Structure 1
Amino acid sequence: MTAFHLAVQMALLMLVGFMSGKLKIVDEKFGPSLAGFIYNIIFPCVVFRSMLRDFDLSKISDMSLLVIISVLTMGLMALFGIGINLVFKKNDNLSRIMIMNLMFTNFTYMAFPVMEALFGDTGNLYIVAYTTPVRILFYIVTPILFIVGRGKESENCEPKIMGKTVLLALLSPPVLAVPIGFFFYFTKMPLPESLLRAVDSLASAATPMGMALCGVTLTGIPLLKMFADKRVIFISLLRLVAAPAIVTAIFYLITRQVSLDPIIVKVSVVYCALPAAAASAVIAMKAKADEVKAAQCVLITTLLSVLTLPVWVFISERLF
Structure 2
Amino acid sequence: MESSIIFNQVLILFIILAIGYVAGKFKILDSSGTKKLSEVLLFVAAPMMVLGAFFIEFSKERLVNIIWIVGFATFMFIVSIMLSKLIYRRFNEKTAPVLRFAAVFSNCGYMGLPLMKAIFGDEGAFYGSFYIVVFHVFLWSYGYVIFGSKDRQSGILKRVLLNPSIIALYIGTIIFIFSIPVPLPIKGAVKAVGDMTLPLSMLIIGGVISTSRIVTLFTDWKVYLASFVRLILMPSLAFFIALIVGVPSLPAAITVTALAMPVAANATIFSEMFGKDAVFGSKCIAVSNLLSILTAPLIIGWVVAYM
TM-score, normalized by length of structure 1? 0.74
Q: Which residue of 2 aligns with 1:299?
A: 289
Letter in 2 for 1:13: I
Summarize the Cα distance change of 1:141–1:65 in structure 2 as closer, same or farther, 3 Å threshold. Answer: closer
* Alpha carbons of structure 1 residues 229 and 7: separation in structure 2 relative to 1, 3 Å: farther
1:142-166 superposed Cα distances (whole Å, 9 cap, x missing partner): 34454443325xxxx42xx531365
- Give the letter for the 1:141 counterpart: F
Q: 1:54, 1:214 → 2: CA distance?
A: 34
Cross-structure match for 1:190: 181
1:149 corresponds to which of 140, 143, 146: 146
Counterpart CA distance in 2 for 1:261 and 1:151 is 34
Deviations 1:243-267 (A, max 9, x none): 2332344456x37xxxx48846973
Change in Cα spacing, 1:229 to 1:140, as seen in structure 2 (3 Å) is same
| Contiguous gaps of at least 5 residues in structure 2 | none
In structure 2, C-alpha distance between the alignment counterparts of 1:240 and 1:22, rounded to whole Å: 27
Amino acid aligned to 1:68: G
Q: Match for 1:47 among 21, 33, 50?
A: 50
Partner AA of 1:150 in structure 2: F
Alignment of 1:106-255 (within 5 A): 106-114=111-119, 127=124, 131-152=128-149, 157-158=150-151, 161-164=152-155, 167-251=158-242, 254=244
Residue matched to 1:97: 102
User: Is residue 275 of structure 1 aligned with residue 266 of structure 2?
Assistant: no
In the alignment, structure 1 residue 68 sits paired with structure 2 residue 71? yes
Shift of 1:8: 1.8
Give, in whole Å, the separation in 1 of the partners of 2:26 and 2:58. Answer: 42
Q: 1:143 to 1:213 in 2, by over 3 A?
A: farther
Deviations 1:162-183 (A, max 9, x none): 3136524432222222222222
Report the Cα distance in structure 2 between the residues aligned to 1:10 and 1:216, rounded to whole angstroms: 14
Note if contact 1:77-1:243 (Cα within 8 Å) is conserved in structure 2. yes
- With over 3 angstroms needed to count, the CA separation of the structure-2 counterparts of 1:195 and 1:304, relative to structure 1, is same
For 1:47 and 1:30, locate their aligned partners in 2 and report how far apart those are by CA, in whole Å. Answer: 24
SS of the aligned residue for 1:220 comes to coil
Q: 1:296 to 1:65 in 2, by over 3 A?
A: same
> Measured at CA, do residues 106 and 33 of structure 1 come closer, stay the same or move farther in structure 2, by a change above 3 Å?
closer
In structure 2, relative to structure 1, the CA distance for the partners of 1:14 and 1:104 (3 Å cut) is: closer
Q: State, as a whole percentage, how many aligned pairs show the same letter.
A: 17
Q: How far has the Cα of 1:307 moved from its partner?
A: 7.1
Mapped contact 2:48–2:194 kept (Cα < 8 A): yes
Q: Which residue of 2 aligns with 1:77?
A: 80
Shift of 1:47: 2.1
Mapped to 2, the partners of 1:305 and 1:285 lie a distance apart of 22
Q: Distance in 1 between matches of 2:54 and 2:29?
A: 34
Distance in 1 between the 2:248 and 2:258 partners? 16
Q: 1: distance between equivalents of 2:193 and 2:32?
A: 22
- Give the AA of the match of 2:8: H
Name the SS of the counterpart of 2:114 in structure 1: coil
Question: How big is the shift at 1:35?
Answer: 1.3
CA RMSD of aligned residues (A): 3.7
**Aligned partner of residue 31 in structure 2, secondary structure:** coil
> Greater CA deviation, 71-80 or 18-27?
71-80
What letter is aligned with 2:238? Answer: V
Q: Which residue of 1 aligns with 2:40?
A: 37
Contact 2:45-2:197 within 8 A present in 1 as well: yes
Q: Structure 1 142/46 Cα, relative in aligned 2: closer, same or farther at 3 Å?
A: farther
| Alignment partners' CA distance in 2, 1:269 and 1:138 | 11
How far, CA to CA, are the matches of 1:32 and 1:38 in structure 2? 10
